Structure 1
């Protein structure tokens, strides 16, 4: 489909029943439309592409980031009228989906295209719950933090094909004051209906706003993209745009940020919710229920279920760690052992460069050579094997993260690690972390999606706007984060945790993901305080207080997201156990993993998707491998690996 260029007023195309097009003019501040050619039946691919474009207009910054550049001069809308217009547009997409499903559609395409209905229903429920009033000033995903980085610090965010493209970053920037006014309106509405950001995170939010002020425009982070404009269209053109940008930043944008900061400090903060959790909202527990369904992609899963799963997982993992301590003849409590491991000499880095080099070597020298044992060899291109490894942008809450590459191939995927507190990062944590964020985790998964047979709206989902969930479109977090956590488990089978401290790191990270189930539901359903949540993390994981507090602040701002990891991993393991029982040692792990990642669907549709792929391609056994000359990796149990490493640990501890 040829991409349509946006009009001044966005057009919603409707009326499928009689096979012709009717139009409805939307609010001019909205940035979307549903596209359908006149007198043409929808195709599966056409509908998917239209829905992808629809979502990209909802989040044009993320569209630019992923390499779709038709909206490079647009910002995401944040006003109530647009949310409701978009809710109506979702009705049209649901009708279009129903019409396509009545046609001659393969089982796999039918499953893929039906996700449009599910995504639209989820968005509509979120709009009805008014979670958009939380707007976009959260400390973890705010226009004063992460959004600035995406606007200015991302390589190849823009496509400068001609001289008019040079204007797009400036046009986008010039829209920020209006966006801030719209956000202020929504935040005021949130005050009126008793739905506000937690007071717990207000100091961080205020400090982020303050960090923006006090710089000359040309030294501002907001000017960075203009410093890097290409010169192929003439230095005069570039200099003219730079001068206009400096003037706008100094005379209009900085005052707009100051105005929003004043509103937050002088008006909003006094109304910020006193509780850590959203249970205190009117209808708060129902909102949290929808957050859980949004992130786990399982209908009707409850906070009580998730909390109990978390308690069970923490208990079992802690027992495994205590068994290791017993075998080592270590007479310590769990917390004492955690401190002992964290304080062991040689576990810290002297410089940022040393840490980044070590992190890179884990990927290049240790993990990548093992990948053909667990994923299809033909997928291992340079994009997957050589991602960038970079420091996290200021204000990031976690220890590490991954950003997908662009579909135009101009920017590779990037793994980010938080270097703001170098002494808090320990070597024993990094092998597991690289398995999760790098390969075979998010980096591999991202590269796979771009080459998978999944439809466009599933292969390239725009992400972001997390603080407004569930008034957002799902990004299938349980599958992506579940795969990341499952990837850590694959490190056991690959023998990558031979160093005893690396094995401890594996258990440590697993304990954190299990504890998240307890803590997230504790905060938002069981009315825990932030300090109670921090203490639980400290008592049941190996995190230092610095990282534990950062994690809890993230859960406060981002209800439900932290549950996706362990719930997703458990579901993937459940599917694998089913296939191991069917095929035993003939199961091809590379082929099984290919099919898991091909299924870009909600978790409660994963088994159905695998069944369809089995009917299409045959059993996922060794003989089903494509372009591969190796046998499947034999399954090695966690217990067997642990027994092997305990011997190493005893030797290692005696040498301390």
Structure 2
């Protein structure tokens, strides 16, 4: 999963996690269109559409406290207001935007603007639906927290970045108060995060209530680099320390008390999305948002069961190749307990990840024609969130790997994790998006989980032809990850459509993968508290694999994976129906160009 947000890449990751994943559905059968507009003069419909999405984007940046700095939209010196009246105003605005979009004749749009229209509609429909469902009244889940992400993972290099950080931190007390009021409103109508999925998450606040060197904010301000010259560096450090002690520590302390004494005791004890007010309709809206097409949850459940059975057979073949003579269950136990498969120190795990990433570098030229200039680094997951964080997460600037509880971090899973999160997965993908040909600003920062996570899982499979998996155990780790995503189709729908218990979901995932028990429980809690999101990975991956197979059939020996991959990534993040239409247009163009 990439480090990203949709409403605004930087600041809004600190908003409600359901708004951090603003993907939505579009009409099921869009006509094939080109990724970029041609040289023809824009039509009247083109001009109307551009005016609409440019106006909405400018409004959005103001609304969610973003500003353009050095050509990139970044967090400004304030936090967005998240009071109930703000969300009510936003849903009214998006209602009007959708009405104006409906009035534009899609048939009169040029090919490039037709893609823009589809992406814009998907983005706005998701934001509108999420806000209308008032998901902001439950503004965190087991994986992402509105009180997190304020503290930068790496020190800023420039004075202006530190000054903007100080501005945002001054707004934290008001921001927390608004979130508390929102959560109280949610509790009053029976809308909350399931209690079973968030046990212990309150502990992530504890370090920020400290007044000594254990407070991560104090560590951050003590680490202002020499690139900020004196005396300003010392001034910023002292200003930051004073702000932390006088405003942030009390704000985090107040929020922690609210969560422990009021919120957590009153959260719902049920776990299914269908148990929320009008919950079955809500779950279907979540499926539509993350899958970017209409699919019945029971259809998805059946797909998952079939894929789990297929991957199980492959896993047993790899087990035999490894020379293991016991049962499948005994093989899983062997993988979970043999010391050879586990790093002894955090540095050893990070070094192993770096080795895989560098090995990938040597293979990229065989899979892509276009490579990004922007580079990522590898760092550990911060200590305050590591106990409840995923094994790894990648974004534009960094790939994070979890070094907490090393006996639950098997090295045989690491190659698949690196290609998914770093390159040619999310970090690679994000860098290419940054350097992509000019497209509307909203296209640069919109993220559709089916496209993005589907690509990440596709790269795990691509690693088999890049020589990334050196042993049967590493190949089994890759299959464990593929099984993990296929099992999500069964588990997510099992929990929210069929009424599975938490224990039933944990047992299912543990019995089908070599994931450590810690990871299994963390994952299931995420599916419980973030319905629908887990469906996007495998369905996006399946779409990409099917499109590649179609291209190979149509082009035969003339198929070259490099332009195929370049085309998919140059398109940028789009709903799956748009991806299908664009790839088929690419195949047709390739056939025409290669025709004798």
TM-score by length of structure 1 reads 0.77
SS of the residue corresponding to residue 609 of structure 1 reads helix
Counterpart pick for 1:521 among 469, 487, 493: 493
Aligned counterparts of 2:506 and 2:443: Cα–Cα separation in 1: 36
With over 3 angstroms needed to count, the CA separation of the structure-2 counterparts of 1:126 and 1:400, relative to structure 1, is: same
Counterpart pick for 2:529 among 533, 550, 557: 557
The match for 1:351 is 345
Aligned 8 A contact 1:90 1:120 in 2:
yes
Q: Deviation digits for residues 601-622 of structure 1, max 9, x if unmatched?
A: 210222222344556x644988
Deviation at 1:277, TM superposition (A): 2.6
SS of the residue corresponding to residue 564 of structure 2 reads helix
SS of the residue corresponding to residue 340 of structure 1 reads helix
Deviation at 1:557, TM superposition (A): 2.4
Deviation at 1:325, TM superposition (A): 3.7
Matched, 1:568 2:540: yes
Deviation at 1:271, TM superposition (A): 1.4
Q: Deviation digits for residues 484-534 of structure 1, max 9, x if unmatched?
A: 111111112234334211211111111111111111222222222222211
The one of the two structures with greater contact order (alpha-carbon pairs below 8 A, sep at least 6) is 2
Matched, 1:547 2:541: no
Unaligned runs of 5+ in 1: 1-40, 405-412, 463-474, 625-656
With over 3 angstroms needed to count, the CA separation of the structure-2 counterparts of 1:348 and 1:89, relative to structure 1, is: same
Aligned 8 A contact 1:73 1:172 in 2:
yes
Aligned 8 A contact 2:274 2:283 in 1:
yes
Deviation at 1:589, TM superposition (A): 0.7
SS of the residue corresponding to residue 492 of structure 1 reads coil
Matched, 1:192 2:188: yes
Aligned counterparts of 2:86 and 2:80: Cα–Cα separation in 1: 10
Deviation at 1:568, TM superposition (A): 0.3
Aligned counterparts of 1:280 and 1:374: Cα–Cα separation in 2: 46
Matches for 1:308-323 after TM superposition, within 5 Å = 308-323=302-317
Aligned counterparts of 1:231 and 1:389: Cα–Cα separation in 2: 22
The match for 1:6 is none
Count of residues in correspondence between the two structures? 548
Counterpart pick for 2:91 among 87, 90, 93: 87
The match for 1:401 is 393
Counterpart pick for 2:381 among 376, 392, 401: 392
Aligned counterparts of 1:363 and 1:152: Cα–Cα separation in 2: 24
The match for 2:256 is 261
The match for 1:74 is 78
Aligned counterparts of 1:260 and 1:612: Cα–Cα separation in 2: 52
Aligned counterparts of 2:123 and 2:203: Cα–Cα separation in 1: 35
Aligned counterparts of 1:566 and 1:527: Cα–Cα separation in 2: 22
Aligned 8 A contact 2:322 2:473 in 1:
no
Unaligned runs of 5+ in 2: 1-45
The match for 1:380 is 371
SS of the residue corresponding to residue 82 of structure 2 reads coil
| Aligned-CA RMSD value | 3.0
With over 3 angstroms needed to count, the CA separation of the structure-2 counterparts of 1:602 and 1:268, relative to structure 1, is: same
The match for 2:173 is 177
Aligned counterparts of 2:198 and 2:501: Cα–Cα separation in 1: 15
Aligned 8 A contact 2:49 2:117 in 1:
yes
Deviation at 1:195, TM superposition (A): 0.7
Aligned counterparts of 2:228 and 2:316: Cα–Cα separation in 1: 65
With over 3 angstroms needed to count, the CA separation of the structure-2 counterparts of 1:370 and 1:167, relative to structure 1, is: closer
Deviation at 1:222, TM superposition (A): 2.3
Aligned counterparts of 1:168 and 1:400: Cα–Cα separation in 2: 28
The match for 1:369 is 362
With over 3 angstroms needed to count, the CA separation of the structure-2 counterparts of 1:134 and 1:154, relative to structure 1, is: farther
TM-score by length of structure 2 reads 0.84
Aligned 8 A contact 2:372 2:435 in 1:
no
